[in-house]
Amino acid sequence: LKCAGAERLGLEKWSNLDTDELNVKMRRARAQAYVDGLRGAVAALGPMLILTIGASSVMTDKMSMGMMLAMNSLAQSLFGPLSALVGSALELQLVKGHMDRIDDVLQTSVEQDRDKATLPPRLRGHVTVKNLSFKYGEQAPLVVQNVSLDIPPGAAVALVGPSGSGKSTLLNLLAGLYKPVAGDISYDAKPLHDMDLRAVRQQIGVVPQHPFIFGGTMRENISLGAPGAALDRITHAARLACLHDDIAEMPMNYDTVVSDGGGSLSGGQRQRVAIARSILRNPTLMLLDEATSALDNQTEARVIENLEKLRCTRITVAHRLSTIRNADLIIVMDKGRVVEQGSYTDLAARGGLFTQLLAASQSSNPNAPELPYEAAFAGPASSAHSSMRSARNSAERA
């Protein structure tokens, strides 16, 4: 708000919300006062009314004294529960609101019927995608369209393309986070959605674009997917992620406590925590969504060099040339489709979209830092994909 000079706008918005909340609380307090008054009236006037009617009946010989006393005693037993029932009316309305919110969660369909899924063997990292398509809603456009890939075990694959071309969505599909509307994904010739997704994910490492840091120690955050891992394994993973030196400078090293969201960590440190988490799992497949975008070129080069030493298949959504130059296979996407694929040298010589991306990433100043290739599409071209990006973000928040 300060950077945007919008403090007054933020204050007005907060003030309006606070006023709305105060009005709701006042209406609830008035309703509670009415209910309390009704309860008091029932408790006070009820016995008095029955006593008056009973006394009148006794005086006119319509009722005996004993019967009147019995009725009065029964009335006393009735008015207590009746008063409590009236008092519960308002609480029942509140409970209904809570139950409606809980019901939204309870009615959500399960991701997978694990009783019908098969446990996967130790995967080798062979990924096959056949005629894959996906969209975020019934009326939404296709974000991934008829994509087919064959990635051998141990290959280093880079996904490149303009912003909003479907790269991150494809990565989420490979992780089983979304279910395609058409086509198949197979690991080692076994359909992904026929296998136990939880067991499959225990064999792969996913580094999202914006990793989350949980409240706890650095050790607990790195070992999130491998609880109980020995400290030497955690240290080894941190070294490969180029995070160990940073942790060593913290007050309590690996026992340093961080808050939810990792507010005390830089963006690059949060990304390297996520990379270390993935390495610690000893995955057969790593899915990296711009996992080094917050790192400087030197640190990024060291991390990529260490990742290349791992014996696993790596599929990376890339944003800099340094992440794709040594890739075994480069897949170029545009508007949800695979428009080119091949090696760095082959694609650079074709004169297609990849060549444009290379030209966009090069600065006229040879001493300037390397730019993300998406910078060339920061104008009108990127607006054509904005609906895809917003639809994906809303689905991820849901």
* 161 and 298 together in one domain: yes
* 131 and 94 together in one domain: no
* 167 and 65 together in one domain: no
Q: Lowest mean pLDDT: which of 61-65, 162-166, 198-202, 222-226?
A: 61-65
Mean pLDDT over 59-79 rounds to 77
* 136 and 257 together in one domain: yes
* 359 and 272 together in one domain: yes
* 133 and 94 together in one domain: no
Report percent pLDDT > 70 for the chain. 89
Domain annotation covers residue 386: yes
Decide if 171 contacts 287 (C-beta within 8 A). yes
Q: Lowest mean pLDDT: which of 23-32, 76-85, 271-280?
A: 76-85
Mean pLDDT over 316-329 rounds to 82
Q: Which domain holds residue 183?
A: 127-397
pLDDT at 397 over 50: no
* 55 and 141 together in one domain: no
Domain count, the chain: 2
Domain annotation covers residue 113: no
What is the pTM for the complete model shown?
0.73
* 102 and 136 together in one domain: no
* 233 and 354 together in one domain: yes
* 92 and 154 together in one domain: no
Mean pLDDT over 8-32 rounds to 88
| pLDDT of 169 | 93
* 222 and 355 together in one domain: yes
Domain annotation covers residue 21: yes
| pLDDT of 273 | 94
* 287 and 230 together in one domain: yes
